[in-house]
Structure 1
Amino acid sequence: PASASPTGCGPASPWWRRTWPTSSGRARCGSSGCCPAASPPTLVEGPGTIFEPLFYFNLAGPGDPVQRLGTEYSWNDDGTELSITLREGVTWSDGEAFDADDVKFTFDMIAADRVPNTVGFHGTTEVVDPTHLVVTFDGPAYMEGPQLLGKTWIVPEHIWSGIEDPNTDTVSEPVGTGPYTLGDFKGQAFTLDANPDYWGGEPELTHVMYRSLSGNQASADALAAGQVDVYSGPVPDIANVEEDYPGYQAITVPMNQAVLDTCANAELGCEGPQTDPAVRQAIYHAMDRGQINQLAFQNTASEMSPGFALPERDAAYVSDALENPTVPMQPDLARVDEILTGAGYARGGDGIYAKDGERLALTVTVVSGWTDYITALETLREQLSPAGIELTVNQVSWNEMSDARARGGFQLVIDSLYPGPAPDPFYLYSYFYGTENTAEVGESADTNYSRYSNAEVDAALEALTQLNPEDMAARMPHYDVIQQRIEQDMPYIPILTGGTTTEFHAAKFSGWPSLDDLYAFPATWSRPDQSQMYMNLAPTGE
């Protein structure tokens, strides 16, 4: 069996403990994290599997988008009109025909804010014929394309037009065009069954069973016991997965960038020493990243740019204007002292720096059960002590961390900054550094949890929205500005680029992504990437 669970809270229920019969077409997938127990299945795991996007943009590297419900798209010369061609002969899983009216209905629902409109889409969609439509924007909207085309899940008008409130009404029997339909669903536990009428042919992986696991250790235990066939997350001794877990292999891909989120902006209500850029810079230079990588991440993490363009995937975007193209791997305590004394701090009798009678003592929040991050912080705590900075590690639940981060009720939080809908650092900059995505402390910030606000960065982001993504010569000066500013201000303190490791049962299934054929970002919790992976798997008969 194969079961996958990109998210999960609490111990497994008895429903999960039942034994699946051995079957070459079933897979069990496990992952730790958190999801609401009462979430409808469309929110739990529908994207990509049940409900499809028009195209698939591979975050793991550059390349042409993969056709899903769409077959072609193009922009007019000024980026204000997006023309889309749809696949012919597609049906919904209830047998009804899919056409351009369904896409228009979905886009209109988002534009009217009837469902979460996370990117502020307000384009006008017109149907040309059953397989063609045009989306018109008020101004250049190149950067909205990947979200609309690759991260918008198309829903059936003939069903969703009768839903009074799509934000709250539960869709207990979802109808989609995707390769899977919903099987059993009980709280956090559910299965996906192959769609026999899928336009691309019924997947060879006929069933996916999702298991909810309570943390990294529980996930590793399930893998060791052979209870899951694929899991995205750390396990002990990652370098020797093939020896420790017979039949399994692992792949590690650098993607999400581990950071210390700081509540950085005193003008928006942040309080604490971390509001001083000098303190953030001092922490940055006090880290022994090589030791953190070894002790916390089993050397699966990799170098990171202080400008937050991925060094490998986004090599063309890394600015020459940066002081350092990548973060230092070894600590520089002399630089730490220079930075802090220059900002008015002095060592106290206890060895900790202080300024205006306030010791340089900080609290960092981490989700309980995130063993790799907890180890990273305990290691960092020991590293910062001789640097004259006191760090206290506070373990809380996912919900507590998420709420504190959103409302600014924290000093430091360890987490990672994630990429956007396409392999372009613009999206990360917009999400986490754009003023429009933050709020005063006490109010919920969308994604800019640090409360960072810089007029030059905002102007560069606005300029980038007006430019064709293929015009690198025109775009690069704006990336230079952004990367210079965020390296200097450092509202998110870089740690390392996290290596997302996925362990999978290679003896039982073929077709897993590899470093030579990275056709999808191989993480069970990443959508719609997971659907690309499931569609590529085939049972070996083992």
Structure 2
Amino acid sequence: MSLRAGRVRAAVVGASALALLVAGCGDSPGGDGGSTAADTLIVPGQNGDYVRNFNPYSPNAIEGSGTIFESLFYFNLAGRSQEPTPLLGTDYAWNEDGTELSITLRDGVSWSDGEEFTADDVKFTFDLLASGGVPNTTGFSGTTEVVDPTHVLVSFEGPAYMDGPQLLGKIWIVPEHLWSAIEDPGTDPVNEPVGTGPYTLTEFKPQSFTLTANPGYWGGEPALTHVRYDALSGNQATADALSAGQVDVFSGPVPDIAHVEEDYPGYQAITVPMNQTVLDTCANPDLGCEGPQTDPAVRRAVYYAMDREQLNALAFQDTGGEVSPGFALPERDAALVSGELEDPTAPMSADQDRVDEILTGAGYARDGDGFYARDGERLSLTVKVVVGWNDYITALDVLTEQLAAAGIELTVAQVSANEMLDARARGDFELLIDALYPGPAADPYYLYSYFFGSENTAEVGESASTNYSRYSVPEVDAAIEALRRTDPADTEARRAHYDAIQARIEQDMPYIPLLTAGTTTEFHAEKFGGWPSAEDMYAFPATWSHPDQAILYTHLRPAHKD
């Protein structure tokens, strides 16, 4: 079964065997609303202790984007409407040639310390972005002018249409009166965050922290008064806690994903296809990458050696969908999937003939054990994965067998989440299993800019902001820049640039596509109302996606208050 972007299905998820393991761990999640406080949403967080950091621009932030710090608007990638929801901004407009963006701001907003929010805060934040003071993943270089306390004007040297949704939907506005004193706002930890958002930080411990509804929030104090994040050691521990009623929402896989309502009384689930699951490769030897994966032939051989139907069934419980090697979403972006691609979507079964053709053409030959080798060195790769991420670990176990059958040796290295983040940013890996995420609007331009643009990468040993593969190709950079400057309404003018990007990245394959991931969120429907549904997908319901999680929390209400 294949789930593609734009399609949402309700699901029921569960595991009766897990219920036996945790039967004595707490009250059942049924009629009494579970074993947790009625006004507190319990969210499982990372594996291991939290390090206190709520800087929304730091790669090591643990929360805050959307909940504490807000963007100007919210763009819902899972919904049917493309119109953004006003947050700190209420209106915006481009001039005729796309060189000026006029933004109207909400009046009467206060920071959580009581200071007034004004256009000066927006200018300060945008200036941080333009100067490189915080990560600038789309190359924003505009000049921001304060027109009055509720209006700013952003000017660009040329057309910059694609900067709009990024500036409006994914830039977290910070308070100038506090952040002007931060030495390195892109990396320094923020321990006592002050924002305009619906929640504030009220309690922090290494194993748990709590956000509390902001009574001065401009949108009104949320009905969901507390959100508590608990550190848990991986998907299995989270599934156990879910079964015991000790977790209220989890965006991730659990066993037997087809039967939640039977196995978890009071819970329901929903699956939404969105992000693309990939193998990141440190691909660029010119920037310091080392290993056989720096050869595009090896990356393409791995791509053709996969049996994606088997991976989907054994690791992802058939919640994944087809993926394009050009990384436009096959359904949402159907009109943009290039006709010049060799494979519009990745093959779902292995193609040993192609593997043999590619590797023999690159000078490899089978050794006595059946593995490919060149110059006396076996084709052997190491892939990193986070301890406890059971679906990814299972996928790599399956993939190890598939690649061995194809003549490629794969070794799996399990590491902590912090080790993974550091290795990914610094290029300290050959392969790692990961997911590429979409941008602020329904356009593949943003994914190309984030993950394939040279300006978002760095030499091995230095921190890359989003282009972890170290991919750097001038013709791809030129096409990304051309898309940035072209009116999104001019589909024909943009098509040639999409075609150029997709054709080249299919051949180079710095990220090896597995599947389009179906994100399943299990939620305590009996304890809280207001969850997204197929009929009202007001937000992408994933607690790790920002600012979607904040929109979700502000819609929830404790059932006992209904």
- Evaluate the alpha carbon distance shift between residue 181 and residue 435 of structure 1 in structure 2; reply closer, same or farther with a 3 A threshold: closer
Tell me whether 1:270 sits opposite 2:289 in the alignment: yes
Aligned to 2:356: 337
- Evaluate the alpha carbon distance shift between residue 129 and residue 41 of structure 1 in structure 2; reply closer, same or farther with a 3 A threshold: closer
Q: Distance in 1 between matches of 2:206 and 2:282?
A: 35
Q: Distance in 2 between matches of 1:384 and 1:161?
A: 52
Q: Distance in 2 between matches of 1:272 and 1:166?
A: 34
8 Å Cα contact 1:307/1:486 also seen in 2: yes
Q: Distance in 1 between matches of 2:459 and 2:115?
A: 47
Q: Distance in 2 between matches of 1:267 and 1:427?
A: 25
> Which stretch shifts more, 377-386 or 132-141?
132-141
Aligned to 2:256: 237
Q: Distance in 2 between matches of 1:38 and 1:200?
A: 27
8 Å Cα contact 2:199/2:212 also seen in 1: yes
Aligned to 1:27: 41
Structure 1 segments of 4+ aligned residues over 6 angstroms from their partners:
none
Q: Distance in 1 between matches of 2:48 and 2:489?
A: 38
Q: Distance in 2 between matches of 1:23 and 1:33?
A: 23
SS in 2 for 1:45: coil
Structure 1: segments with no counterpart, 5+ residues: 1-16
Match of 1:500 among 491, 515, 519: 519
Aligned to 2:78: 60
The Cα of 1:175 is off from its aligned counterpart by 3.2
Match of 2:275 among 240, 248, 256: 256
Using CA pairs below 8 Å that are at least 6 residues apart, which structure has the higher relative contact order?
2
Q: Distance in 2 between matches of 1:158 and 1:345?
A: 61
Tell me whether 1:288 sits opposite 2:302 in the alignment: no
SS in 1 for 2:326: coil
Paired residues, what number? 525
Q: Distance in 2 between matches of 1:431 and 1:393?
A: 27
AA matched with 1:138:
E
The Cα of 1:343 is off from its aligned counterpart by 2.6
Aligned to 1:7: none
The Cα of 1:455 is off from its aligned counterpart by 2.3
TM, length-normalised to structure 2:
0.87
Alpha-carbon RMSD across the aligned residues, in angstroms, is 2.4
Match of 2:453 among 434, 438, 443: 434
Aligned to 1:373: 392
Structure 2: segments with no counterpart, 5+ residues: 1-25, 27-33
- Evaluate the alpha carbon distance shift between residue 520 and residue 285 of structure 1 in structure 2; reply closer, same or farther with a 3 A threshold: same
Aligned to 1:46: 64
- Evaluate the alpha carbon distance shift between residue 324 and residue 162 of structure 1 in structure 2; reply closer, same or farther with a 3 A threshold: closer
Q: Distance in 2 between matches of 1:220 and 1:135?
A: 47
> Which stretch shifts more, 492-501 or 315-324?
315-324
AA matched with 2:226:
H
> Which stretch shifts more, 343-352 or 26-35?
26-35
Q: Distance in 2 between matches of 1:475 and 1:131?
A: 34
Match of 1:310 among 302, 326, 329: 329
Q: Distance in 1 between matches of 2:430 and 2:187?
A: 33
SS in 2 for 1:386: helix
8 Å Cα contact 1:39/1:187 also seen in 2: no
- Evaluate the alpha carbon distance shift between residue 126 and residue 465 of structure 1 in structure 2; reply closer, same or farther with a 3 A threshold: same
> Which stretch shifts more, 108-117 or 296-305?
108-117
Q: Distance in 2 between matches of 1:34 and 1:309?
A: 35
Aligned to 2:30: none
TM, length-normalised to structure 1:
0.90
Tell me whether 1:125 sits opposite 2:151 in the alignment: no
> Which stretch shifts more, 359-368 or 377-386?
359-368
Tell me whether 1:413 sits opposite 2:432 in the alignment: yes
8 Å Cα contact 2:135/2:186 also seen in 1: yes
The Cα of 1:257 is off from its aligned counterpart by 1.0
8 Å Cα contact 1:296/1:372 also seen in 2: yes
- Evaluate the alpha carbon distance shift between residue 207 and residue 445 of structure 1 in structure 2; reply closer, same or farther with a 3 A threshold: closer
SS in 1 for 2:486: coil
Q: Distance in 1 between matches of 2:168 and 2:85?
A: 11
Match of 1:467 among 474, 483, 486: 486
The Cα of 1:409 is off from its aligned counterpart by 2.9
Matched-pair identity in %: 72
Match of 2:51 among 16, 31, 37: 37
- Please give the residue correspondences for 1:92-491 in structure 2 after superposition, counting only pairs within 5 Å: 92-161=111-180, 166=185, 171-187=190-206, 189-491=208-510
8 Å Cα contact 1:32/1:219 also seen in 2: no
Q: Deviations over 1:163-207 (max 9, x none)?
A: 566457665543332222222223452212222232222211121
Q: Distance in 1 between matches of 2:391 and 2:291?
A: 26
8 Å Cα contact 2:133/2:186 also seen in 1: yes
Q: Distance in 1 between matches of 2:280 and 2:430?
A: 8
Q: Deviations over 1:353-392 (max 9, x none)?
A: 2222222222222222211111111101111122111111
The Cα of 1:470 is off from its aligned counterpart by 2.1
SS in 1 for 2:494: helix
Q: Distance in 2 between matches of 1:452 and 1:162?
A: 35
Q: Deviations over 1:115-169 (max 9, x none)?
A: 4444443422222222211111223222222221112222333444455664576
- Evaluate the alpha carbon distance shift between residue 439 and residue 161 of structure 1 in structure 2; reply closer, same or farther with a 3 A threshold: closer
Aligned to 1:10: none
The Cα of 1:112 is off from its aligned counterpart by 4.1
- Evaluate the alpha carbon distance shift between residue 207 and residue 268 of structure 1 in structure 2; reply closer, same or farther with a 3 A threshold: closer
SS in 1 for 2:359: helix
8 Å Cα contact 2:542/2:548 also seen in 1: yes
Q: Distance in 1 between matches of 2:551 and 2:244?
A: 27
Q: Deviations over 1:53-102 (max 9, x none)?
A: 11001132561111011111111122221100112232333444333223
SS in 2 for 1:231: strand
Q: Distance in 1 between matches of 2:441 and 2:44?
A: 26
